[in-house]
Chain A
Amino acid sequence: MARERRKWIILLSILPLTIYTIIVIIPLLSSFFYSFTNWNGFNPEYKFVGFSNYLKVFQDRYFELAIKNTLIWMVAAFVLPVVTGLAIALVLHERIRFANFYKSLFFLPICLSLAVIGQVWIWIYQPDWGLINTVLRSVGLEQLAIAWLANKNTALYSVIVAWSWQQVGLAMVIFLAGLTSIPEELTEAAQIDGASYWQSLRYVIIPLLSPATTVVIALSIINSLKSFDVVYMMTGGGPFHSSDTLAMFMFNESFKKYFMGYGSAIAVVLFLIAMVIIAFYFRQVRQLEQLYD
């Protein structure tokens, strides 16, 4: 019986585990390997260069900028999609008219590719006839009508707004799922006890929503570290690296400039940052859960 069971465990898991290991795990480990070389992507020969790629990473001011931008992205990803998503979910949860229409509308962008979304938002930001500048000019705010994506002070934020436009719906549906799981008796009881809406929100709803909040925040952190598609589509990291995120920077160094060794070093640093943040976050979550239990 035990032998039969072992046979089936191996038979059923061998294929998925093999493919996963070959395509995901081994390349992950070989990124570490390439990060100690000067491989250029074409030449079959390469030299070991020790830690020099890593030394270069930490002296590269564009790397520093990419880290800063990724952090800005993380904060913005919390403020825009998470807070807006929560607000919309709270409003739609109160049996509002046409709630399903709003829900579908805000959720729809999730099924669109960031290639499509990026393109539309390029048209919105376009300096001459773009939507934003047309509106600004028509209300007499001529001086505010700038080239949003080509200005190094606004490029990053403009991209983040386009990305958030897509992400709001995701946060919204997760919060809505969380809200429907809160028993109505609890919020009603708070009302009977004379709690104002803000008080029941603060003391009843928000604490009971914490599982959903955990998911949404974890998601926005992970997605911030992965932020690439929309940047690639809209600015490619420019102008002058001003909208570079870590993933975008790594991509440009590896596949535009063909510094594969250097790109691998950036990838390893990105991986380590992701692991530290995720480990730290899940530790916090576990402590919180223990506190509530």
Chain B
Amino acid sequence: MTKSNQIFPSAKDEGIKERISERTVNILIYLTLTILVFIYILPGLGVIMTSVKLDSEIAREGLWTFPKQIHWDNYREIWTEAHVDVYMRNSFLVTIPAVALSITLGVLLGYVFSKLPFRGSEALFVFVLAGLFFPPQIVLIPLFRFYNAIGVYDTLWPMIITHVAFGVSICTLIMRNFFASIPMAIREAAIVDGANEWQVLTRVILPVSLPALAVLATLQFTWIWNDFLYPIIFTQSDDMRTIMVGLITMKGQYSVAYGAQGAMAIVASIPTLMIFVFFQRYFIRGLTLGAVKG
């Protein structure tokens, strides 16, 4: 005991004093938690309440009051007048192919880096990871020029292509690390049995990689769905807007149509909220694994 007292010299508190201070600390903790819960619930509650109020009620009482009666007019309005159907379709048309392609590329490259190392492959891996670290704004100007030159400006292609290319870094990182946990002997046994690398990858390795694929799918979906930087640079017509750009332009165009903005914000968030509810476990793993992505 003497030794431990040297490590923690001031630890000889009396029992009662300790119990009182423990209680105060507990009260403080629960108080802080309650305040935090309010800070995290209120914004969401505000949007939901606003989305079911009529503009006249908002104009009278502001946003932060409970609605007297629930009206679905805002939801109807954004669907018929603000082209939310078009925006949502565009978002899905960008997000789903971009998620699938970026993961496919990450699987291919991750397999090479983990199971087929060669001279210089470590350096090449660092080169591929570089994409995680710099702000994407840096390449916007050359990309803007490039997409104009090949004639795809103001289509959905630039968003898909850019998300796929920038996704290569994170997908390769996560797939390589996952494949590295699968013993090399499994590949070698399959090769001895006469399989080629493609067969090893698709028939032996991929079937056991579902958790990693799920992690990447949730992460990439959320990230690509929520992005609005690429669409504001690479598109300009209303037909090509994604839902997030629709939300931003709505803020500019009808800046007092709060009810419609609230409804649009909720509709825009439903797909990622679904992912959060059903795949939270994979999503959290993805964020902790590939945390640098943000």
Mark A residues whose CB is within 8 Å of B.
Answer: 4-6, 8-9, 12-13, 15-17, 19-20, 22-24, 26-28, 30-31, 34, 41, 88, 91, 96, 102, 104-117, 119-124, 126, 128-131, 134, 165, 170, 173-174, 177, 190, 193-196, 199, 203, 215-216, 218-219, 222-223, 225-226, 228-229, 232-233, 246-247, 250-251, 254-255, 260, 263-264, 267-268, 270-271, 274-275, 278
Contacts and interface: CB of A to CB of B under 8 A. Distances in A.
B109 interface: yes
B74 interface: no
Nearest to B280: A104
Given A9-B118, A113-B226, A193-B8, A27 B272 contact: no
Interface residues of B, number: 91
25 contacts: A4-B196, A6-B118, A16-B106, A16-B108, A19-B165, A23-B161, A23-B165, A24-B169, A28-B138, A107-B280, A111-B272, A113-B225, A116-B265, A119-B265, A123-B63, A129-B63, A170-B294, A196-B11, A196-B13, A226-B136, A251-B137, A270-B134, A274-B134, A274-B135, A278-B133
Interface in B186-237: 196-198, 201, 222, 225-229, 233
Contact of A111 (B143, B233, B275, B292): B275
Nearest to B166: A24
A107 to B, nearest CB: 7
A267 B137 contact: yes
Contacts, number: 262
A170 B287 contact: yes
Contacts of A174: 287-288, 291
B10 interface: yes
B130 to A, nearest CB: 8
A115 B294 contact: no
4 closest Cβ contacts across the A-B interface?
A129-B62, A23-B165, A113-B226, A193-B4
Contact of B146 (A6, A20, A27, A251): A27
Interface of B: 1, 4-5, 7-8, 10-13, 29, 33, 36-37, 39-44, 46-47, 50, 62-64, 105-106, 108-109, 111-112, 116, 118, 124, 128, 131-146, 161-162, 164-166, 168-169, 172, 196-198, 201, 222, 225-229, 233, 244, 247-248, 251, 258, 261, 265, 268-269, 272-273, 275-276, 280, 283-284, 287-288, 291-292, 294
A271 B8 contact: no
B197 A250 contact: no
B164 A13 contact: no
Nearest to A175: B288
Given A12-B108, A16-B168, A111-B283, A31 B247 contact: no
A199 to B, nearest CB: 5
Given A41-B145, A134-B62, 13 more contacts: A8-B196, A20-B169, A24-B166, A112-B272, A120-B47, A165-B40, A195-B11, A222-B133, A250-B138, A254-B140, A263-B141, A267-B137, A267-B141
